[in-house]
């Protein structure tokens, strides 16, 4: 028995989380094959899940496939510009309409194409239009009139868009996407993520559960232990907060001198005597070692000028204000207009969002560093990991990118992400230890991790976090 199961089972509520009540939960979500199998029934068919950026399907006839667990879905842009999504299966005898091999390291990320007007099944030739209606069956008379359109059409999947991403849900009863996104969506809308485009996108298969994978990027409590080199430039004390299904983290401070509304997210002063210098060093170090993501060239350059443009003794708050104003002006001059994020939204918008179940977004006005992790086959010890950088580019200057398979090395991902990857397989191993008493996430700094398990339990009917007080 997992030791955490012996605790008195008092399921943790959202209110408990707001009070930062310490919690624990069983390890089966990470290591149990049975749990992973149950996700196929209880989780993946019930949630709204992100498929891909809308910009990957710019033209009518563009299509792509999205696979999760045993499901495969085809998303198609129709002539009128709208999106349709279908289960990738022929209603006759079940052949995949579009043959999609499993995700193969270095080979198959997804199957895509263009100029599609409909589907012809390769097995017996049944044919479907872009709305999924059946348009051809060989010898229909043999069914004695029983082939009603609702029996022979494709199975539709609900599709919607938010923030420039395509989302699907296989659940006809699911709440609308806007409601699913809730307050998290409203806050992030101010950042106009839909105007951003891929800067780079990479994927790999890693030796850990998809939950171990996504959790690695849900909190900054690990910075001091994992990315020790970053401590020379800034503190990484953070707070985190549940927003129902989703959750957010923000930089917090143990030092009042650094407390300012502008520093809630990725824009903050570095530590050091001269804030003009330390702010630049912090931003440059982060940008260069997080694979040129989580900031922009414009922001780094503008920070580099602080020492020339501000007098000695400028406070951290003055440095941040000047830096942001000059980066914004630099961007405007090259045709990148920042969204106006209202001052009252800024602190609430935080540093990074965890969107249930498996999407992470670390955002700024002109960039986002994002992650998505899915199960890999039926193996609880492996996952399909994707990370990508978005940026707001001048119109017409967006780079052409595609998914690149990248082994988890420093050369491929930069030192910081490589350090994160180095933990993942060993967390997965440690979770199986009979001496492990169950996770004890930091209730202030790692609440996003607890909230993931609270919401997983709502869908799975097991594994709810319980109080770990006393
Ligand atoms: S399985 Fe598709 S036409 Fe027979
Ligand atoms: Fe990290």
Same domain for 27 and 160, yes or no, is no
Same domain for 112 and 237, yes or no, is no
Angle at 412 between CA 419 and CA 407, to 5 degrees: 80
Residue 224's CATH number: 3.90.380.10
Residue 299 lies in a domain: no
Ion ligand 2 contact residues with beta carbon within 5 A: 420
Residue 24 lies in a domain: yes
Angle at 78 between CA 72 and CA 194, to 5 degrees: 80
Confidence check: pLDDT of 278 > 60: yes
Same domain for 341 and 409, yes or no, is yes
Which pair of tokens denotes residue 371? Answer: 């992650």
Same domain for 444 and 460, yes or no, is yes
Of the chain, the percentage scoring pLDDT greater than 70 comes to 95
- CA gyration radius, the chain: 24
Task: Write the residue with the smallest CA distance to atom 3 of ligand 1.
Answer: 124
Confidence check: pLDDT of 259 > 70: no
Residue numbers of the domain that contains 106: 49-173
Number of domains composing the chain: 2
Q: Which of 300, 298, 285 is nearest to 416 (CA)?
A: 285
Same domain for 39 and 61, yes or no, is no
Same domain for 54 and 139, yes or no, is yes
Grade residue 261 by pLDDT with cuts at 50, 70 and 90: very low
Beta bridge pairs of residue 202: 387, 404
Same domain for 200 and 220, yes or no, is yes
> Lowest-confidence range among 135-149, 223-237, 323-337?
223-237
Confidence check: pLDDT of 372 > 50: yes
Same domain for 148 and 185, yes or no, is no
Task: Write the residue with the smallest CA distance to atom 1 of ligand 1.
Answer: 93
Residue 152 lies in a domain: yes
Secondary structure (3-state) at 442: coil
411 Cα: distance to centroid of ligand 1 (angstroms):
46
Of 86, 89, 90, which is best to mutate to test ligand 1, by the most ligand atoms within 8 angstroms of its C-beta? 90
Which pair of tokens denotes residue 438? Answer: 């169950």
Residue 110's CATH number: 2.102.10.10
90 Cα: distance to centroid of ligand 1 (angstroms):
6
Residue 368 lies in a domain: yes
Q: Which of 450, 251, 463 is nearest to 356 (CA)?
A: 450
Of 74, 86, 95, which is best to mutate to test ligand 1, by the most ligand atoms within 8 angstroms of its C-beta? 95
Write out residues with Cβ below 6 Å of ligand 1. Answer: 90, 92-95, 121, 123-126
Neighbours of 156 (CB within 10 A): 14
Residue 313 lies in a domain: no
Grade residue 1 by pLDDT with cuts at 50, 70 and 90: very low
Residue 116 lies in a domain: yes
Same domain for 450 and 374, yes or no, is yes
Grade residue 90 by pLDDT with cuts at 50, 70 and 90: very high
Residue 273 lies in a domain: no
Q: What average pLDDT score do residues 351-363 get? A: 97
pLDDT at 7: 47
pLDDT at 258: 57
Atom of ligand 1 nearest to the CA of 95: 1
pLDDT at 254: 73
Of 92, 119, 139, 153, which is best to mutate to test ligand 1, by the most ligand atoms within 8 angstroms of its C-beta? 92
Same domain for 6 and 136, yes or no, is no
Domain-ending residue, one of 152, 173, 194: 173
Residue 332 lies in a domain: no
Same domain for 152 and 225, yes or no, is no
Which pair of tokens denotes residue 261? Answer: 């509304």
Task: Write the residue with the smallest CA distance to atom 4 of ligand 1.
Answer: 124
Q: How far apart are CA 456 and CA 247, in angstroms?
A: 13
Domain-ending residue, one of 155, 173, 191: 173
Q: How far apart are CA 67 and CA 376, in angstroms?
A: 10
pLDDT at 124: 98
Domain-ending residue, one of 138, 173, 208: 173
Q: What is the mean pLDDT of the chain?
A: 94
Q: Which of 111, 97, 9, 16 is nearest to 62 (CA)?
A: 111
Grade residue 262 by pLDDT with cuts at 50, 70 and 90: very low
The pTM for the full model equals: 0.95
Same domain for 6 and 83, yes or no, is no
Atom of ligand 1 nearest to the CA of 97: 2
């Amino acid at each position: 028995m997992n030791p955490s199961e012996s605790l008195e089972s008092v399921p943790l509520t959202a209110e408990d989380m707001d009070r930062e009540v310490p919690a624990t939960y069983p390890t089966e979500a990470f290591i149990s094959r049975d749990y992973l199998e149950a996700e196929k029934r209880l989780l993946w068919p019930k949630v709204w899940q992100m498929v891909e950026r809308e910009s990957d399907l710019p033209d009518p006839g563009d299509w792509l496939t999205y696979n999760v667990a045993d499901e495969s879905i085809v998303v198609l842009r129709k002539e009128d510009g709208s999106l349709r999504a279908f289960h990738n299966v022929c209603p006759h005898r079940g052949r995949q309409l579009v043959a999609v091999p499993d995700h193969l390291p270095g080979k198959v990320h997804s199957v895509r194409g263009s100029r599609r007007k409909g589907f012809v099944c390769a097995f017996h030739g049944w044919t479907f239009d872009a709305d999924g209606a059946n348009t051809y069956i060989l010898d229909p008379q043999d069914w004695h009139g029983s082939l009603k359109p609702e029996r022979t059409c494709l199975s539709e999947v609900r599709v919607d868009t938010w923030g420039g991403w395509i989302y699907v849900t296989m659940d006809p009863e699911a709440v609308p996407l806007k409601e699913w996104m809730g307050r998290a969506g409203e806050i992030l809308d101010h950042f106009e993520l839909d105007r951003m485009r891929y800067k780079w996108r990479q994927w790999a298969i890693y030796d850990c559960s998809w939950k171990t994978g996504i959790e690695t990027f849900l909190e900054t409590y690990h910075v001091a232990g994992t990315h020790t080199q970053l401590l020379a430039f800034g503190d990484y004390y953070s707070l985190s907060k549940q927003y129902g299904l989703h959750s957010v983290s923000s930089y917090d401070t143990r030092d009042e001198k650094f407390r300012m509304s502008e520093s809630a997210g990725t824009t903050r002063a570095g530590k050091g005597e001269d804030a003009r210098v330390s702010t630049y060093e912090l931003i440059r170090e982060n940008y260069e070692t997080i694979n040129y993501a989580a900031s922009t060239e414009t922001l780094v350059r503008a920070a580099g000028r602080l020492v020339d443009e501000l007098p000695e003794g400028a406070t951290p708050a003055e440095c941040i204000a000047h830096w942001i104003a000059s980066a914004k002006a630099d961007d405007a001059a090259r045709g990148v207009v920042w969204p106006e994020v209202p001052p009252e939204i800024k602190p609430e918008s935080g540093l990074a969002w965890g969107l249930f179940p498996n999407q992470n977004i670390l955002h700024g006005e002109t960039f986002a560093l994002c992650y998505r992790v899915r199960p890999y086959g039926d193996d609880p010890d492996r996952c399909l990991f994707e990370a990508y950088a978005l940026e707001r580019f001048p119109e017409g200057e967006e780079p052409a990118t595609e998914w690149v398979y990248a082994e988890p090395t420093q050369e491929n991902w930069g030192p910081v992400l490589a350090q994160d990857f180095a933990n993942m397989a060993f967390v997965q191993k440690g979770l199986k230890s009979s001496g492990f008493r169950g996770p004890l996430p930091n209730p202030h700094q790692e609440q996003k991790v607890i909230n993931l398990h609270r919401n997983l339990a709502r869908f799975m009917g097991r594994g709810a976090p319980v109080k770990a007080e006393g």
